[in-house]
Copies of this chain bind each other. A is one copy, B any other.
Amino acid sequence: MIVVMKTNCNEEAIEHILTFLHNHGLSGHPSRGVERTIIGVLGAVGPTGTPGSIGGINPSLGETLESLPCVESVLRVSKPYKLASREFHPEDTIVEVPVPCVSEGVVRIGDRDVVMMAGPCTVETEKQLMTTAHAVRKAGAVILRGGAFKPSTSPYGFRGLGEEGLKLLAKARAEFGLAVITEVMTPSDVPMVCDYADILQIGTRNMQNYMLLDEVGRTEKPVLLKRGMSSTIEEWLLAAEYVLAGGNRNVMLCERGIRTYEKMTRNTMDISAIPLIERLSHLPIISDPTQGTGSRDLVMPMSLASIAAGTDGLLVEVHPNPDEALKDGAQSLTFEQFKSLMPRVLAVAKSLGRDLSTPSLRERPHWASSFPTAQCV
């Protein structure tokens, strides 16, 4: 931190600040300029995780300092997150997710290959889920998305099938060899969702649900942390820091659009967050063009733009019959549309020296044999 004093403040005021800093376990180093004095603040850099401290500095101390007499402003130098930062952890984090249908049995998110996650917004029926799982796997996705617990803006909206939905997801995994990502909404549901899912999704409305972050931090499950709909990149990384500080290092971030004044799209997708996260953090970054735009017609161009900007994966809503969907049908791709998206995703990825994680074509997909109509490639 740097404390900038007002012009013409006297030595007494400077001493007052130095004493204040001392009382908070910090040391101040004044530089006296012609016009004004600035005070560099140094703290005892202790281990992260000390309650009330970050590198020894209480995060709200700056605001208090700023309210002291003779202080013009307080400038923060250090980033408030540490475990999530590339400075602290220069190598990329690669999150490994077990996926039966790929030849290695595992998908590495954050590595060279782009990973496709697709499926319905919400699990509605067995048939809806199974046909979708089949379709997206056939088109090249390796992870199946689907909500069992759904946040609904209205109390009268559909809120998901609950555990029944989780069971259907587990069944689809067994049948098609896809990994499963699904949302968990409240701390007490974490153990149950962990039992069924391969990746825990934290939704945009829960990005700052700290008790939920604490809870998933106590597991080892991969976590996909969606950006809050109006959160800054710094707040988002701080939310990731909660999970990391809890001990779970398998964290992925997901850009899903932010709230702006523009209403022609549901959200404004912040594509620049993709390269920014890559620079600031070692964590994988996923892109959700479905929620990011709210419009089926924009999913294709925004998927391709995300790939071009360097995303590690895409999360796309697909539904067998979007017009009949219980939730968010208007933004879901049809099977046909998803199928036509995939070669373009691959083309752009390849043009930049990347590739796609895809279901293996070499092995017989025995895990798919029991599903009646499913013909696995």
A372 at the interface (CB under 8 A from B): no
- Evaluate contact between B64 and A329: CB separation under 8 angstroms: yes
Within 8 A of B (CB), among A42-88: 42, 45, 48-54, 58-60, 63-64, 66-68, 72-73, 75, 77, 80-81, 87
Within 8 A of B (CB), among A232-287: 232-235, 238, 241-242, 245-246, 258-265, 268-272, 274-276, 279
Bound CA span A20–B329, Å:
14
- Evaluate contact between B296 and A156: CB separation under 8 angstroms: no
A368 at the interface (CB under 8 A from B): no
Bound CA span A185–B210, Å:
9
Give the residues in chain B near A268, CB-CB below 8 Å. Answer: 258, 260, 268, 270, 272
Nearest to A264 among chain B residues (CB) is: B233
Bound CA span A305–B274, Å:
10
Bound CA span A155–B84, Å:
12
> Known contacts A156-B50, A351-B351; is A308 also within 8 Å of B307 by CB?
yes
> How many copies are assembled?
4
Give the residues in chain B near A229, CB-CB below 8 Å. Answer: 230
- Evaluate contact between A52 and B156: CB separation under 8 angstroms: yes
A93 at the interface (CB under 8 A from B): no
A38 at the interface (CB under 8 A from B): yes
Q: What's the tally of chain A residues with a CB closer than 8 Å to chain B?
A: 116
> Known contacts A59-B154, A259-B230, A268-B260; is A38 also within 8 Å of B40 by CB?
yes
Give the residues in chain B near A157, CB-CB below 8 Å. Answer: 52, 58-60
The interface-forming segment of A100-108, A131-139, A320-328 is A320-328
Nearest to A81 among chain B residues (CB) is: B154
The interface-forming segment of A29-37, A140-148, A171-179 is A29-37
- Evaluate contact between A296 and B67: CB separation under 8 angstroms: yes
Give the residues in chain B near A327, CB-CB below 8 Å. Answer: 60
The interface-forming segment of A218-226, A342-350, A356-364 is A342-350
17 A-B contacts, Cβ less than 8 Å apart?
A29-B31, A38-B38, A52-B157, A54-B156, A58-B157, A59-B154, A64-B322, A67-B296, A80-B154, A154-B241, A187-B188, A272-B298, A274-B301, A274-B305, A275-B302, A305-B308, A350-B351
Given contacts A186-B209, A205-B209, 13 further A-B contacts (CB under 8 A): A31-B40, A33-B40, A49-B156, A60-B157, A63-B330, A63-B331, A67-B331, A81-B154, A153-B208, A234-B264, A258-B260, A275-B297, A347-B352
